[in-house]
Structure 1
Amino acid sequence: MSATRVETVAPPLDSQGFLRWAWRQLTSMRVALILLFALAVASVPGSILPQRGNNPLLVDEWIDQQPTLGPLLDRLGFFDVYGAPWFAAIYLLLFVSLIGCVLPRVGHHWTAMRTPPPIAPRNLDRMQAFSCETVDIAPADVSSHVSQELRRRGWRVRTGSDTAVDGDPGGVWVSAEKGYLRETGNLIFHLALVLILVAVAAGGLFGWRGNVIVK
């Protein structure tokens, strides 16, 4: 008896689907890191070669000393790296990638921080780390003590009580969660990076530089 192999063929992407796919790729953290690395590599010629914005005379002298390589690098924009179209393209792509990656995460993180911890499940014995102990203290006192201790350790706490259902007597419960500080620091770092890019772009658009030659 031979098995029949069924192959599924994905439908072709239309223009809207392709744009949605391209946007997801551009705003992914992997692409943002690649663009950040590409921007760092693209900035290397600006630190090694003389730049027209800083010393145009040194640029002309460098081109005269390198008659073969100099004009080629000049046409490619290596003597004006930070004003070259290819550098601006990497810069803009990185800016769009960070905006599209960070802003939705900020909104989701803000919503999650304002949302109280979830209600404790009724059937705790189904959880893997479940354990049970019996104490001679009122449930309300136990709940108050546990809540205070968790808050002291930096947990977000939510308390409540269950009503009796199908023979289950119910009782008080405490739910707690933590771990938002790391994501907050991560988002602050990326927002600071976006602000740096905005400041550099604003300085390049609205700033000016003058060169004076005194003999």
Structure 2
Amino acid sequence: SDPQRPSDHVDSAPAPRERNGAGGADVAQPRLGLVGYLRFFWRQLTSMRTALFLLMLLALAAIPGSLVPQRTADPNGVVQYKSDHPALYPVLDKLQVFDTYTSVWFSAIYLLLFVSLIGCIVPRTKHHWQALRTRPPKTPVRLGRLAGFQSVPVDATSVGTAANGADVATGLPTVDHAVTRAMAILKRSGYRVERFGDSVTAHRVTPRD
């Protein structure tokens, strides 16, 4: 070691030992167990990627049903295919190609797809339903700090008389009238509105929420 360097210098530290190598200590991996493997399998099965893969696989598995005759739709064609291809027929029959849509492998694919779609849709449906029922957020105290903040002045000519919500002394709209009118406009635009005192907040649920 260099005597000019302190003992705690980064270059003076001993090299780390190699793990899982010759002379190194093995890393103890946690055991998942049966429940852990089942949870991992369920997460993989109910992912959107797996659902899309099973959907594509189901489309590919349906191709033999359009290339060879099926017993349920064309039994005479199956008999004719057997006489025309005596060597190939036993192999295809053992693979249930002549009963493609009722075969074990085709049924397994669409059953897995059905379970995968349920696992994908149900949790997301619950999430979107909760988002639809969630109250809009409370109005910020300092609206001027928001990026899209705008202030629109209102004069007396835009309101009219006191019967339309104008203050008798100033001729300007009252706070209650302005908030009520804003809520009506936002509701017509498809927003969910909530009133907090002298302010109104609105929220529109989008597909990404």
Alpha carbons of structure 1 residues 22 and 142: separation in structure 2 relative to 1, 3 Å? same
The CA deviation string for residues 115-135 of structure 1, in whole angstroms up to 9 with x for no partner, is 322222334444443445555
Structure 1 residue 137: deviation in Å?
4.5
The CA deviation string for residues 64-101 of structure 1, in whole angstroms up to 9 with x for no partner, is 21233322211111110011110010011011111112
Q: Residue 175 of structure 1 corresponds to which residue in structure 2?
A: 201
Q: Residue 80 of structure 1 corresponds to which residue in structure 2?
A: 99
Query: How many residues in Structure 1 have an aligned counterpart in Structure 2?
Result: 172
Structure 1 residue 56: deviation in Å?
2.2
Q: Residue 212 of structure 1 corresponds to which residue in structure 2?
A: none
User: Please, which runs of 5 or more residues in structure 2 have no aligned partner?
Assistant: 1-9, 20-26, 155-171
Q: Residue 98 of structure 1 corresponds to which residue in structure 2?
A: 117
Equivalent-residue separation in structure 2 for 1:177 and 1:53 (angstroms) = 54
Equivalent-residue separation in structure 2 for 1:86 and 1:128 (angstroms) = 56
TM-score (norm 1): 0.68
Q: Residue 49 of structure 1 corresponds to which residue in structure 2?
A: 68
Q: Residue 40 of structure 1 corresponds to which residue in structure 2?
A: 59
Q: Return the letter of the residue paired with 1:29.
A: M
Looking at secondary structure, tell me which structure has more helix per residue: 1
TM-score (norm 2): 0.70
Equivalent-residue separation in structure 1 for 2:148 and 2:87 (angstroms) = 71
User: Please, which runs of 5 or more residues in structure 1 have no aligned partner?
Assistant: 162-171, 184-215
CA root-mean-square deviation = 2.9
Which of residues 177, 184, 188 in structure 2 aligns to 1:148?
184
* Aligned-partner SS, 1:80: helix
Equivalent-residue separation in structure 2 for 1:86 and 1:11 (angstroms) = 35
Alpha carbons of structure 1 residues 127 and 16: separation in structure 2 relative to 1, 3 Å? farther
Equivalent-residue separation in structure 2 for 1:34 and 1:155 (angstroms) = 37
Alpha carbons of structure 1 residues 43 and 153: separation in structure 2 relative to 1, 3 Å? same
Q: Return the letter of the residue paired with 2:185.
A: E
Q: Residue 63 of structure 1 corresponds to which residue in structure 2?
A: 82
Greater RCO structure (CA 8 Å; 6+ sep) = 1
* Aligned-partner SS, 1:176: strand
Structure 1 residue 9: deviation in Å?
8.0
Sequence identity, in percent?
44
8 Å CA contact 2:132, 2:205 repeated in 1 = no
Which of residues 102, 121, 134 in structure 2 aligns to 1:115?
134
* Aligned-partner SS, 2:97: coil
Q: Return the letter of the residue paired with 1:117.
A: P
* Aligned-partner SS, 2:98: coil
Answer with 1 or 2: which has the greater Rg: 2
